[in-house]
Chain A
Amino acid sequence: MTEVTWQKLKEWTYKCIGCRSCITEYKKTFPHHRFDYICPFDYQEKSFTYSPAGKIRVINGILEEVVPIDMHAAEILYMDPLCKACENDCLADHGNHIVDIFVAARERFVEEGILPTKVKEFLENVDKYGNPWGEPMGKRAEWAKNVKGVKKYEKGDEYLLYVGCIESFDPIGQKIPSAFAELLAMAEVSFGILGEQEICSGNDVRLLGEKGLFEMLVEKNMKTFKDLKVEKIVVISPHAYNAFKNTYLQYGKMPEVIHYTQLLHKLIKGGKLKLSGLDTKITYHDPCFLGRYNNLYDEPREILKSIPGVEIVEMKRNKEYAFCCGGGSGNFYMDYLKGDDAPNRVRVREAYNAGAKIIAVACGGCATLLNDGIKSEDLEGKIEVMDIAEIVKKALA
Chain B
Amino acid sequence: MEISFQKFETVGGRKVYVPSRHEKHNEILKELIKIVGEKFVSDDMATLYVYGAVPTEHDFYLPEMVVLPKTTEELSESIKIANKYKVPIQVVVSANNTGAVHHLLTGGILIDLRRMNRILEVNEDSMYTLIEPGVTWADLWRYLKDNHPDLRFSPIFSPPFASVMGNVILDGHNKYGLIYGSPYNHAISAEVVLPTGEIVYLGSRALTKYWGVRNPVPDLFGLFLGGWHGATGVVTKMAYRLCLKPKLEEEVIVEFNNARDAFNFARRLARSRVVDVIHMMDWRFLIIYMMKAAKVPPEKPPDMLELAADVVYSSVEGEDEEIKYKKKFTESLAQKYNAKSVKPLEEYGPEMYRVVSIPGQACMNPNGLGICFTGAGKGSGFSWVGGLGEDRFFEELYKGTVKIFDKYDKIFLQNFFQEKLWGHIGCFREIVSFDVCDPEQVEQVRKAHEEEVRLLLDHGYLPYKPPKFATDIIINEYMDKGFYQLMKKIREALDPNHIMAPGRWEL
Contact = CB atoms under 8 A, between A and B. Distances in A.
Interface string B1-41: 00000001011000010100000000000000000000000
Query: Which one of A10, A18, A27 has the highest number of Cβ atoms from chain B below 10 Å of its Cβ?
Result: A18
Interface in B158-199: 159-161
Interface string B36-74: 000000101111011101110000000000101000000
A46 B47 contact: no
19 contacts: A17-B55, A18-B55, A20-B160, A21-B159, A30-B353, A34-B145, A47-B112, A48-B50, A48-B96, A49-B46, A49-B47, A49-B50, A49-B66, A54-B50, A60-B49, A66-B18, A70-B46, A91-B365, A92-B366
Given A48-B95, A61-B49, A14 B378 contact: yes
B138 A24 contact: yes
A25 to B, nearest CB: 9
Given A11-B379, A14-B379, A64-B8, A57 B49 contact: yes
Given A30-B354, A48-B94, 4 more contacts: A14-B436, A15-B366, A27-B350, A37-B138
Interface in A45-66: 46-49, 54, 57-58, 60-62, 64-66
**9 closest Cβ pairs, A-B complex:** A14-B379, A72-B44, A35-B138, A17-B55, A91-B367, A61-B49, A19-B364, A30-B350, A73-B46
B76 interface: no
A48 B114 contact: yes
A342 B55 CA distance: 30
A145 interface: no
Nearest to B361: A19
Contact of B8 (A17, A31, A65, A72): A65
B16 A46 contact: no
A18 B346 CA distance: 28
Contacts of B444: none
A323 to B, nearest CB: 14
A64 B141 contact: no
A179 B4 CA distance: 65
A31 B357 CA distance: 10
A247 to B, nearest CB: 26
Contacts of A36: 138, 142
B380 A17 contact: yes
Contacts of A15: 366, 374, 379-380
A68 interface: yes
Contacts of B370: 17, 92
Given A21-B365, A48-B96, A92-B366, A64 B10 contact: yes
A24 B45 contact: no
B115 interface: yes
A253 interface: no
Nearest to B40: A47
A382 interface: no
B262 interface: no
A15, A37, A76 interface centre (most CB from chain B within 10 Å): A15
A35 to B, nearest CB: 3
A18 B380 CA distance: 10
A66 B350 contact: no
Interface in B347-371: 350, 353-354, 357-358, 361, 364-368, 370
B32 to A, nearest CB: 15
Contact of B380 (A30, A70, A92): A92
B53 A60 contact: yes
Q: How large is the interface on A (under 10, 10 to 19, 20 to 34, 35 or more residues)?
A: 35 or more
A226 B117 CA distance: 55
Nearest to A7: B378
Given A48-B50, A61-B45, A19 B141 contact: no
Contact of B361 (A21, A37, A67): A21
Contact of A20 (B18, B49, B161, B436): B161
A351 interface: no
A16 B353 CA distance: 23
Contacts of A93: 366, 374-375
Contacts of B375: 93
B437 interface: yes
Interface string A169-188: 00000000000000000000
A46 B134 contact: yes
B311 interface: no
A61 B44 contact: no
Nearest to B370: A17
**Most A C-beta atoms less than 10 A away, residue of B66, B161, B437:** B161
A19 B365 contact: yes
Contacts of B49: 57-58, 60-61, 66-67
B44 A66 contact: no
Contacts of A64: 8, 10-11, 16
Nearest to A92: B366
B403 to A, nearest CB: 27
Contacts of B368: 91
A64 B46 CA distance: 12
A46 B346 contact: no
A72 B42 CA distance: 9
Contacts of B18: 66
Contacts of A16: 55, 366, 380
A23 B47 contact: no
